[in-house]
Structure 1
Amino acid sequence: MASRMQDSDPLLTPAEVASMFRVDPKTVTRWAKAEKLTAIFTLGGHRRYRASEVRALLHGGNGGIPQQRTGE
């Protein structure tokens, strides 16, 4: 049976994405609901995010994801 997913692009949990952006995991969920980040749902209904997409957003292609503010 062929796999639908590519093994070369791992999936990240909301907590892992949140850690990379230094935001709360609920913020990552809001980004997904606002279609700023593509969510993939597991059979159990949990959200996962493609590592390649997250890395692209993290390194400048933010597609509307606000930058973290400092000094507030």
Structure 2
Amino acid sequence: MTAHPAESEALLTPSEVATLFRVDPKTVTRWAKAGKLSSIRTLGGHRRYRESEVRDLLNGVPQQQSPTDD
């Protein structure tokens, strides 16, 4: 049985992402709200970030914009 890629990917907390970028966790939340970083919501409503996307952003890899329904 193979796992769906999104299910097996490591997720980071806002605090963990903030530590990597050396910013405040609230800054990470603002980035997510601005669309610079995509987030996943837990059942409790907390944000989690895909480690691969965070690493790409750290390494300067341009992020693809997801289409909006506007």
TM-score above 0.5? yes
Task: Give TM-score scaled by structure 2 length.
Answer: 0.78
Task: Give TM-score scaled by structure 1 length.
Answer: 0.76
- Structure 1: gaps (5+ residues): 64-72
Q: In structure 2, what is the equivalent of residue 12 of structure 1?
A: 12
Superimposed CA distance per residue, residues 12-53 of structure 1 (whole angstroms, 9 cap, x where no aligned partner): 000000000000000000000000000100000000000000
Q: Provide runs of 4+ in structure 1 moved above 3 Å.
A: none
Q: How many residues align?
A: 61
Rounded to whole Å, the distance in 2 between the matches of 1:57 and 1:31 is 12
Q: In structure 1, what is the equivalent of residue 33 of structure 2?
A: 33
The percent of aligned pairs where both chains have the same amino acid is: 67
Q: In structure 2, what is the equivalent of residue 67 of structure 1?
A: none
